[in-house]
Amino acid sequence: MKKKKILITGITGQDGSYLAEYLLSLGYEVHGIVRRVALEDPTHHFWRLQKVLDQLILHSGSLESFPTLFKIMREVQPDECYHLAAQSFVSVSFEDEFSMMQTNINGTHYLLAALKDACPECRLYFAGSSEMFGKAEETPQRETTRFHPRSVYGLTKVAGFELTRNYREAYNLFTCTGILFNHESPRRGYEFVTRKISSTAARIKLGMEKVMPLGNIEAKRDWGFAGEYVQMMHVMLQQDVPEDFVVGTGETHTVREFLEVVFGELNLNYQDYLVIEKNFYRPAEVDLLVADPQKAREKLGWKSKMNFEELALQMVRHDYDILKKGDDL
Ligand code: F7E
């Protein structure tokens, strides 16, 4: 039987790397779109893909170029496309609104248009985000909760969600959005709060760092393990009818609790190192997010396995072990 072909944007990121590994394990032919600079400097850009790099087919391209996306779509003719690429750090959206709008909204629009013109049978997954709920009007948040984004990042994800829905309705394409709540792992970028905490705590324990600078530690998030969440992206595209789904654990915890677990694991008291810095506060914060994943549970068989504490422990043990060996993170 012919191998199913997959195309992933954002394949070098946390989710892209887990998804690529997972789809290869299912026997798929996996293609990824990467920037030319990444191909020129693979050690720096492909560290998350080390295990599977020789099994991937990579194409150089940018989300900012419709002709390139169209050409790749036409050549590859994928059966499924996972659109994960985006500028995804919420804080940046306050510093560089315009470039975030351009990459995230136009990138999604170009990809949808390329799909429609070059490969309309291909099924598309769009990476939505709980940041679309923002100042949420109800708790927990489900598929029907009204969006109220609190950052340009959230706003670009609402636009991507609406574009994805509109292409589904207007052109009868199989497109859907996964509204994923925060998902973390040892592959998380260092700018995000969980990895910032796990890596800094490990450095403090080893005498390489003295303080833990943070912003609002009372913010509450629904944190799960990224390695599990990518499997739901795949399941969403195997449904008979394209639909949007919320994916999260259904539990919420503060940043402070994450600190407690991580520092506790290293027999440290976070209060001895914590420095609250105003510049890590956001002009508009999302105070509380928690998913109601009932629809995904009933229709996709979703159940999160790794709990909050296991996730935090996995991250700090990983960072501590690497640094202790003398390697850099
Ligand atoms: O912040 C607070 C911060 O940057 C979490 C992205 O993947 O998930 C992520 O967005 C919370 C916020 O993630 C610091 O104010 C305190 O309340 O780890 P984060 P995020 O903004 O929730 C969603 C689902 C996405 O889609 C996004 O792409 O932690 N916080 N002090 C801090 N956050 C950071 N980054 N750094 C601090 O020093």
Q: Which tens digits make up the pLDDT trace of 140-158?
A: 999 999 999 999 999 999 9
Neighbours of 258 (CB within 10 A): 25
From ligand 1's centre to the CA of 252, what distance in Å?
14
From ligand 1's centre to the CA of 141, what distance in Å?
18
Ligand 1 atom with the smallest distance to the CA of 255 is: 29
Across residues 36-53, what is the average pLDDT? Answer: 90
Average pLDDT, the chain: 96
pLDDT surpasses 90 at 79: yes
- pLDDT category of residue 191 using cuts at 50, 70 and 90: very high
Q: Is the CB of 135 under 6 A from ligand 1?
A: no
Ligand 1: which residue has its CA nearest to atom 1? Answer: 193
For ligand 1, pick from 83, 129, 152, 193 the residue to mutate: most ligand atoms within 8 Å of CB: 193
**Per-residue pLDDT tens for 160-188?**
999 999 999 999 999 999 999 999 999 99
Q: Which structure tokens are listed for 62? A: 């940018």
- pLDDT at position 230 is 98
Ligand 1 atom with the smallest distance to the CA of 181 is: 24
pLDDT surpasses 90 at 121: yes
Q: Is the CB of 288 under 6 A from ligand 1?
A: no
Q: Among candidates 52, 60, 115, 36, which has minimal Cα distance to 83? A: 115
In the chain the first and final C-alpha atoms are separated, in Å, by 42
Across residues 194-202, what is the average pLDDT? Answer: 98
Q: Which structure tokens are listed for 250? A: 């259904």
pLDDT surpasses 80 at 273: yes
Q: Is the CB of 282 under 6 A from ligand 1?
A: yes
- pLDDT category of residue 328 using cuts at 50, 70 and 90: confident
65 is catalytic: no
- pLDDT category of residue 92 using cuts at 50, 70 and 90: confident
- pLDDT at position 40 is 87
pLDDT surpasses 80 at 272: yes
pLDDT surpasses 80 at 1: no
131 is catalytic: yes
- Set 17, 129, 151, 304: catalytic member: 129
Lowest-confidence region among 73-82, 86-95, 162-171:
86-95
Q: Which helix (H) or strand (E) holds 214?
A: strand 212-214
Q: Is the CB of 129 under 6 A from ligand 1?
A: yes
Cα–Cα distances (Å) from 202 to 39, 44, 198, in that order, read 31, 22, 6
Which residues lie closer than 8 Å to 194 by C-beta, 6 or more apart?
Answer: 182, 184, 188, 223, 258, 311, 312, 315
129 is catalytic: yes
Across residues 113-128, what is the average pLDDT? Answer: 98
Q: Is the CB of 285 under 6 A from ligand 1?
A: yes
SS3 at position 224: strand
How far apart are the C-alpha atoms of 226 and 305, rounded to whole Å? 11
Angle between helices 308-324 and 255-265 (to 10 degrees): 50
pLDDT surpasses 80 at 29: yes
**Per-residue pLDDT tens for 213-241?**
999 999 999 999 999 999 999 999 999 99
From ligand 1's centre to the CA of 90, what distance in Å?
7
Q: Which structure tokens are listed for 275? A: 């420095």
Lowest-confidence region among 42-46, 191-195, 224-228:
42-46
Q: Among candidates 252, 185, 241, which has minimal Cα distance to 19? A: 185
Q: Is the CB of 193 under 6 A from ligand 1?
A: yes
Range list of H helices, the chain: 14-25, 36-40, 42-45, 66-76, 92-95, 97-101, 107-118, 152-171, 193-205, 226-237, 255-265, 294-300, 308-324
- pLDDT at position 108 is 98
- pLDDT at position 41 is 86
Ligand 1: which residue has its CA nearest to atom 22? Answer: 182
Q: Among candidates 98, 140, 110, 133, which has minimal Cα distance to 252? A: 140
pLDDT surpasses 90 at 136: yes
How far apart are the C-alpha atoms of 276 and 29, rounded to whole Å? 47
- pLDDT at position 43 is 83
What percentage of the chain exceeds 70 in pLDDT? 100
